[in-house]
Amino acid sequence: MLVLARYPEIGMNGMGTQPIASTGTFRERRLPDPCAMVIFGASGDLTERKVIPALYYLVRERLLSDEYSVVGCGRTPFTHDQFRDKMRESVAEFLHLSAEERNQFPQGFGKRLFYQQGDFGEAAAYDKLRELLEQLDRERGTAGNRLFYLATPPSFFPVIVTGLGNARLARPQAPDQNWTRIVIEKPFGRDLASARDLNRSVTSVFSEEQVYRIDHYLGKETVQNLLVFRFANGVFEPIWNRRYIDHVQITVAEDLGVEERGSYYEEAGCLRDMIQNHVLQLLSLVAMEPPAAFRADAVRDEKAKVLRAIRPVPFDRVADSAIRGQYRAGHARGGPVPGYRSEPKVAANSTTETFTALKFFIDDWRWADVPFYLRSGKRLAKRASEIAIQFRRVPHLLFRDCATQRIDPNLLIVHIQPDEGMSLSFSAKLPGPVMKIRPVTMNFRYSEVFNASPPTAYETLLLDCMLGDATLFNRQDAVDLSWQLVDPILARWKEDGDRGLAFYDAGSWGPAEADAFLAADGRVWVPPDTTH
């Protein structure tokens, strides 16, 4: 079914009028099939903050079929109405609904919400779920299409998958007429062995084509726009290589601490929590070759090639390629904050890293000898996610006698969050009779050009799930390759204990060792958001 839908970036009020320059105000978009979406962990934080608000956005923007239903599953004893009331409050909070929209919620989106209480380990819960889904097929026209979303702690993933398989819910009733898919949140394993165990569990019940491993970073507009920037503009791709690019920096910085997630973070750490998934996915998009077509397998094939080409870090050379740090007490977000070891549910002598900086090389024809510097951390100076492409300096400086100390190389920055956009810096002559050269910057912001902020990642990814488009989702080979890269580093840090663990003040940009890490190569970190 095809519809003419307003482009999603028109804004949360659905009343935007900014046209897309190349295609006009409307674009052709296929509506998803009717379906029932089942959310396991429906009373959890992820469902309230992200999943349900994203679904409401899609409905309000008329990007879903009218024949849809949402079933929340959890252990909390909600009735249908209690669940609807709770979700109304969540949507109102995170989408800032008007009073009119709040009043319309029960008669619109709210009446599509249902709740099924049960223990994820009990077969009876899945039997009841199957009965409810069959009822929705008959009464709500969901047509036997099912999307299962695992918004639970990872320990429940194999339990739920097994339960769905035993209840005959994992396969479509008529493969040529309807479909069944499953969305699995990160972390997908905690090392290579556990990731493979989990995959064996999942693929023993679901086929690989049914599995959507979600990484919300890949749904962000600027991340997707990176592909358009590279492959829809003839000016950039010819210089996107070792001949013109000096190095690449990827920064994912958070100003928050671990808050109430101390027990989780003690098991995860920054390398598992951010680098293995989000940051390596960003790297693969920057470095990938042009795919033969913009289709899921073609794009994911090229991303996997990048990960396969990254030079492994030997166990005995980890210190040459990786820095780890942990925040101590300091000032952040306008006030004093405790150190990591003083956070709730964190060991007093914890060696868990809250900051990681890495250097990788990609051993292929395009990127040989170009370093990729990655860093991520908590309690840093500000929240910012950026990709900085540092071009090489000019080979010969013509303007030695002008009033300029130095000419900076060109710098392209992809701003992922909080303000999505791009910026390009270059040198220009100041007006006047004297040759004076200064750096200038061209900025592109989504909010300014399109008169609205882009939707969050979950709207995009949920819509793609329902459409059966896996382009922005992780395939198992990429998950394995990512773990192969970080496993030796994790093993070495575990053996070293607190040896080599650097400390940094909360509210800073990380440990001094991270600055020295780049200084040894004659480079410096690009301060986030300085040119935007």
pLDDT at 395 over 90: no
Confidence of residue 307 (pLDDT cuts 50, 70, 90): very high
- CATH 3.30.360.10 in the chain is located at 218-456+470-519
The pLDDT of 224-248, averaged and rounded, is 92
Nearest to 356 by CA among 302, 261, 277: 277
Quick one: DSSP state of residue 432? S
Q: Give the separation between CA 201 and CA 164, rounded to whole angstroms.
A: 12
Length of the chain: 532
The pLDDT of 56-70, averaged and rounded, is 90
415 catalytic? Reply is no
218-456+470-519 topology per CATH: Dihydrodipicolinate Reductase; domain 2 (3.30.360)
The type of residue at 110 is G
The pLDDT of 506-514, averaged and rounded, is 96
Q: What is the mean pLDDT of the chain?
A: 87
Going 79 to 81 to 87 to 90, the CA torsion angle's sign is negative
The pLDDT of 375-392, averaged and rounded, is 95
Q: How many CB atoms lie under 10 A from the CB of residue 246?
A: 17
HSE on the CB side for 92, CA within 13 Å?
16
The type of residue at 159 is V
- CATH 3.40.50.720 in the chain is located at 31-185
Residues 151 and 120: beta-carbon distance below 8 Å: no
Confidence of residue 105 (pLDDT cuts 50, 70, 90): confident
pLDDT at 69 over 60: yes
Over residues 16-61, the pLDDT tens digits come to: 333 333 333 333 467 899 999 999 999 888 999 999 999 998 988 8
Parallel, antiparallel, or unpaired for β 322-328 and 501-505?
parallel
Query: pLDDT at position 101, please?
Result: 78
Higher per-residue confidence, 221 vs 461: 461
Q: Which residue has the tokens 């292929």?
A: 364
Question: What's the CATH number for 31-185?
Answer: 3.40.50.720
Going 323 to 324 to 330 to 331, the CA torsion angle's sign is positive
Nearest to 416 by CA among 304, 251, 182: 251
Among 247, 278, 331, 532, the active-site one is 278
DSSP structure string for 267-293: HHHHIIIIIIIIIHHHHHHHHPPPPSS
Residues 328 and 503: beta-carbon distance below 8 Å: yes
The pLDDT of 89-98, averaged and rounded, is 82
Phi-psi region of 412 (alpha: psi -120 to 50; beta: other; left: phi over 0): beta
